[in-house]
A = this chain, B = another copy of it.
């Protein structure tokens, strides 16, 4: 059973090329980012010190916010953001998408630790639009928008739609928070700076191990009194570690290395999605990606598709994905994120892989 589960992942790992991501998440990710460190810089100490101050100031400036705080995780940062806005307004309700990270990946920390009730906005398969916000009946303290909406392939509203939601929230006294786990990745599509996006929001979280490819860690940014209060909650959560520098220094290193490559990743995603969409029974979501990520939906049983993909990798030397997820009886899907690996793939071999995949998809027994 275990062996069968690992077949596709092994085929992916053993292929000459891997199409997605930045490379292996091994210890070299940390070591590479420390090669220029002499070791003599003093550790941050419980949220103070040169290393953490410098990075927080750098990110506040980049995001166009008054102040920024480094957190070990986005889970911690975002629950705390919700709590602060709820405490300020005195209403323990926030609104977010049904497939929000806080709703499906955090073991209900928001409810169990903060007793905050979420209002689920919009159909799970759609992004939140202005109409969803306007038609909401509940009084809430904060609306959280995830840009892009990861669990539905990384979809985005238009910038005008965003502007409309932001204006409406300000008018109604609703705080607007950005789940910007993949904020850097959407800037080429919006063709704006991070600060221009963040200006629409009261508070912002960004991550350093998605598009940036660091070890771990997050920044929470907003007004100074908000970030100061977030430090109190960071200590309460057990996130005010004596030393966070392993995450901070690596985040800073990969931020500098990759924040300028988001356009390249985005172009790669569009190119690769077009190749998938030329295959019978395969459609990407969105059809044309709006960031470095998209989902690939397949009208085929998971086991069958695993065999087709593993064969394709074996014959072409190109690994496309290591994991499929079932999505109903005869459907499956997987997520694609483009990073540094993509430019290393031989274009000839990639085309060959898709010629093979197109043929295999044509030949297969249609269910």
Contact = CB atoms under 8 A, between A and B. Distances in A.
Interface in A196-244: 209, 215-216, 232-233, 235-244
A76 B42 CA distance: 25
Contact of A237 (B27, B34, B113, B209): B113
Contact of A238 (B25, B109, B246): B109
A233 B75 CA distance: 12
Contacts of A73: 238-241
B241 A216 contact: yes
Nearest to A77: B238
> What class of interface size applies to chain A in its complex with B?
35 or more
B34 A236 contact: no
Contacts of A209: 242-243
A30 B42 CA distance: 11
A25 B43 contact: yes
A20 interface: no
A71 B76 CA distance: 14
A218 to B, nearest CB: 9
B31 A235 contact: no
Interface in A32-68: 32, 34, 37-43, 45
Contact of A37 (B31, B108, B232, B240): B31
B76 A238 contact: yes
A150 to B, nearest CB: 15
Contacts of A40: 26-28
